[in-house]
């Protein structure tokens, strides 16, 4: 949903392979512990972390050999993207993907492969076909797709097009009342298309990685998709988003035929088709079912129609939206599987790897986040192929409902690790749960103390260049040592920054160390994310292999070390407002109010 990072500028901090301590460079088989160990993480008395990590460099070599020379990741890619296709939460394809990933994980030798429900999602829906063709003043075939959860048209409908470019409010309602029956509505302004766009394919160079390495003292982490936690901001945003439901009801009540929308990002035949295009962020809920078909057009097509109508040229378009609803209360499921731990003292502890399995519908969900899914699957395949005997249990979680607000991971974390109290004020109930104001308290479950860390990928299919420490300073020297033998693969950077916008957030919010890797962007943000170009061809096989090797090593190291990964202090959202209050009586001579 999915984005970033930087070469460590201070070379002494990044231990080179040749200057590692002897304890690290020497291959060491880690034996099962014999001493009594604390059971789970103790915030009052955390374990002392060693200065030097005991790395099993023989296992590094074996993981590299298996992952780079005997990879099966592109087979997983074709099976998931070509064979199943887009995976909208609640859709028949999502059900196929859940079953397929479960069966593949079982076939590679994982234990306890199963589907775990996180609850009622809402409407099941799929797009069978969509076409939009201009019939007058000329004929043309346009690139178009139904917006998610759009109802169908009654076959192909040819009708006159009218443009409503201004925002629809009560005054506009009155202006158009009685004038839209049998019309197709071109809704909104035509987007401007830059005639000299930037190159789509991008790679992080050392300068960019150094910039991401530097911690922003002004607190601006928008580049890492960390946005404001101001509850009033999000309440206002979703007040506007949810107003689109009112628009669609008005157009349906006026007996308009369909809505044509522009793509909010991209040109050159690229169109985005996601929650930003749907007529409201809750259209998948039965009580918010959309009453009129809507279609997103490639921006060039939208622009052509808009210009013709501006010049008062009569335009007719033939629209055929062939969609199907498959149920009102589809369950949401996560795919879960394990490699059981073997150390009697540590086997109940867990390290998790994962990403979200669901996607939008314009492409086949290859980069967002099929890539993160197949990389996590390949991590498990590599480790099972090597017959590893991890001390801690290694568990994979493939989430659904991420694109609608982390639903699958939120459900899993709530069922296993803990919950955070959310505001129930009327304006906050209009905001999706993952962005709602946290008011506390934090309620933890016993399993929260038993998970050492969660590793996530959701920034496309680029190779891994490092990792975000998520403001966990204690983890930095550990990850530095893990990465030193991987410098030749391009893994160089640890950023103390937070990154946001995907499932690791949910773990982090209940005190579980959750991490997102720094990925080379390629054309993820510029071409593939949420678009009709989110397909197999946007993947780099060599980058995917590298990512699986790196993530497998991080997961393995977490499973094998004596100590759990260090944690940040537990969050206390109930104190946030008090902590933001300015100090009193600071200014000398100020008149008390």
Do residues 560 and 526 share a domain? Answer: yes
Which residues, 6+ apart, have CB-to-CB distance to 113 below 8 Å? 102, 103, 105, 106, 335, 336, 337
- Indicate if the alpha-carbon torsion angle 167, 168, 171, 176 is positive or negative: positive
Final residue of a structural domain among 327, 344, 371: 327
Final residue of a structural domain among 283, 300, 327: 327
Strands 184-187 and 157-164: parallel
Instruction: Confirm if 453 and 565 have CB atoms less than 8 A apart.
Output: yes
Residue 583 lies in a domain: no
Residue 105: per-residue pLDDT: 99
CA distances from 198 to 266, 387, 521, 526 (A): 12, 47, 14, 9
Do residues 474 and 349 share a domain? Answer: yes
Instruction: Confirm if 86 and 359 have CB atoms less than 8 A apart.
Output: yes
Do residues 509 and 431 share a domain? Answer: yes
Q: b/e for 411-443, b at 16 or more Cβ within 10 A? A: bbbbbbbbbbebbeeeebebbbebbbbbbeebe
Do residues 67 and 133 share a domain? Answer: no
The neighbour count for residue 389, using CB atoms within 10 Å, is 13
Residue 271 has pLDDT above 80, yes or no: yes
| Structure-block tokens of residue 577 | 């407002």
Residue 279 lies in a domain: yes
Do residues 436 and 531 share a domain? Answer: yes
Q: What is the pLDDT of residues 279-302, one digit of tens each?
A: 999 999 999 999 999 999 999 999
The CATH number assigned to the domain holding 310 equals 3.50.30.30
Instruction: Confirm if 34 and 343 have CB atoms less than 8 A apart.
Output: no
Q: What is the pLDDT of residues 184-206, one digit of tens each?
A: 999 999 999 988 888 899 999 99
With both helix axes pointing from N to C terminus, report the angle between 371-385 and 57-69 in degrees, rounded to the nearest 10. 120
Helix residue ranges, H only, 423-540: 476-483, 504-509
How much of the chain exceeds pLDDT 90, in percent? 82
Q: What is the pLDDT of residues 514-544, one digit of tens each?
A: 999 999 999 999 999 999 999 999 999 999 9
Size of the chain in residues: 593
Do residues 414 and 282 share a domain? Answer: no
Do residues 274 and 236 share a domain? Answer: yes
Residue 239 lies in a domain: yes
Q: How many domains does the chain have?
A: 2
Q: Whole-structure pTM over 0.85, yes or no?
A: yes
Q: What is the pLDDT of residues 83-102, one digit of tens each?
A: 999 999 999 999 999 999 99
Query: Of 23-37, 153-167, 372-386, 478-492, which gets the smallest average pLDDT?
Result: 23-37
Do residues 540 and 420 share a domain? Answer: yes
The residue among 223, 235, 286, 294 whose CA lies nearest residue 263 is 294
Q: Which residues form the domain of 505? A: 57-123+332-577
Do residues 158 and 171 share a domain? Answer: yes
- Rounded Cα distance between 133 and 393, Å, is 55
Query: Of 6-10, 46-50, 350-354, 560-564, which gets the smallest average pLDDT?
Result: 6-10
Residue 28 lies in a domain: no
Final residue of a structural domain among 293, 327, 361: 327
Mean pLDDT, residues 552-580 taken together: 92
Residue 93: per-residue pLDDT: 98
Residue 69 lies in a domain: yes
Residue 41 lies in a domain: no
| Residue 418, beta-bridge partner list | 444
Do residues 170 and 89 share a domain? Answer: no
- Rounded Cα distance between 137 and 191, Å, is 22
Do residues 302 and 422 share a domain? Answer: no
Residue 282 lies in a domain: yes
Residue 298 lies in a domain: yes
Do residues 178 and 269 share a domain? Answer: yes
| Structure-block tokens of residue 59 | 């296992």
Residue 242: per-residue pLDDT: 86
Residue 575 has pLDDT above 90, yes or no: no
Mean pLDDT, residues 154-177 taken together: 91
The CATH number assigned to the domain holding 411 equals 3.40.630.10
Residue owning tokens 């009129």: 292
- Rounded Cα distance between 69 and 67, Å, is 6
Residue 21 has pLDDT above 70, yes or no: no
């Amino acid at each position: 949903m999915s984005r970033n990072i930087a070469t460590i500028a201070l070379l002494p901090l990044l231990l080179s392979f040749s200057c590692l301590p002897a304890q690290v460079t020497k291959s060491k088989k880690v034996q099962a512990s014999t001493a009594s160990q604390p059971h789970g993480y103790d915030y009052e008395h955390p374990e002392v972390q060693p200065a030097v990590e005991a790395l099993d460099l023989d296992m590094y070599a074996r993981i590299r050999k298996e992952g780079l020379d005997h990879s099966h990741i592109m087979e997983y890619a074709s099976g998931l993207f070509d064979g199943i296709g887009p995976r909208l939460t609640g859709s028949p394809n999502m059900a196929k993907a859940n079953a397929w990933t479960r069966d593949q994980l079982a076939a590679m030798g994982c234990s306890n492969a199963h589907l775990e429900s996180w609850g009622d999602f809402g409407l099941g829906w799929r797009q069978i076909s969509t076409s939009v063709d201009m019939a007058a003043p000329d004929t043309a075939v346009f690139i178009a797709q139904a917006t998610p959860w759009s109802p169908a048209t009654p076959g192909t409908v040819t009708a006159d097009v009218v443009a409503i470019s201004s925002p629809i409010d009560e005054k506009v309602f009155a202006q158009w009342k009685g004038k839209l029956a049998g019309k197709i509505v071109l809704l909104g302004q035509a987007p401007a298309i830059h005639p000299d766009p930037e190159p789509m394919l991008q790679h992080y160079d050392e300068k960019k990685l150094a910039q991401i390495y530097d911690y922003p003292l002004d607190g601006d982490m928008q580049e890492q998709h960390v946005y404001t936690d101001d509850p009033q901001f999000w309440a206002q945003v979703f007040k506007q988003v949810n107003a689109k439901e009112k628009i669609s009801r008005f157009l349906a009540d006026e007996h308009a035929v369909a809505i044509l929308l522009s793509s909010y990002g991209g040109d050159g035949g690229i169109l985005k088709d996601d929650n930003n295009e749907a007529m409201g962020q809750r259209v998948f809920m039965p009580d918010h079912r959309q009453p009129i078909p809507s279609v997103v057009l490639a921006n060039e097509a939208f622009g052509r129609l808009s210009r013709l109508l501006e010049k008062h040229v009569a335009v007719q378009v033939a629209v055929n939206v062939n969609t199907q609803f498959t149920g009102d209360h589809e369950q949401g499921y996560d795919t879960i599987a394990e490699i059981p731990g073997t150390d009697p003292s540590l086997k109940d502890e867990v390290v998790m790897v994962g990403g979200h399995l669901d996607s939008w519908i314009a492409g086949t969900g290859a980069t967002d986040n099929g890539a993160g899914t197949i990389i996590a699957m390949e991590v498990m395949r590599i480790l099972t192929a090597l017959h590893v005997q991890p001390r801690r249990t290694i568990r994979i979680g493939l989430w659904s409902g991420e694109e609608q607000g982390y639903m699958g991971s939120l459900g899993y974390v709530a069922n296993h690790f803990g919950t955070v109290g959310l505001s129930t004020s009327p304006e906050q109930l209009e905001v999706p749960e993952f962005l709602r104001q946290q008011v506390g308290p934090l309620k933890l479950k016993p399993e929260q103390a038993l998970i050492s860390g969660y590793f996530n990928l959701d920034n496309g299919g680029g190779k891994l260049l490092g990792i975000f420490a998520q403001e966990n300073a204690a983890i930095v020297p550990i990850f530095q040592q893990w990465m030193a033998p991987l410098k030749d693969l391009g893994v160089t950077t640890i950023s103390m920054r937070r990154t946001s916008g995907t499932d690791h957030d949910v773990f982090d919010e209940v005190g579980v160390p959750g991490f997102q890797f720094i990925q080379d962007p390629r054309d993820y943000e510029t071409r593939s994310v949420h678009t009709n170009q989110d397909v197999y061809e946007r993947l780099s096989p060599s980058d995917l292999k590298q990512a699986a090797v790196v993530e497998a090593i991080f997961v393995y190291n977490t499973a094998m070390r004596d100590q759990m990964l260090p944690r940040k202090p537990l969050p206390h959202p109930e104190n946030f407002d008090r902590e933001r209050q300015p100090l009193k009586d600071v200014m000398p001579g100020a008149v008390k109010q």
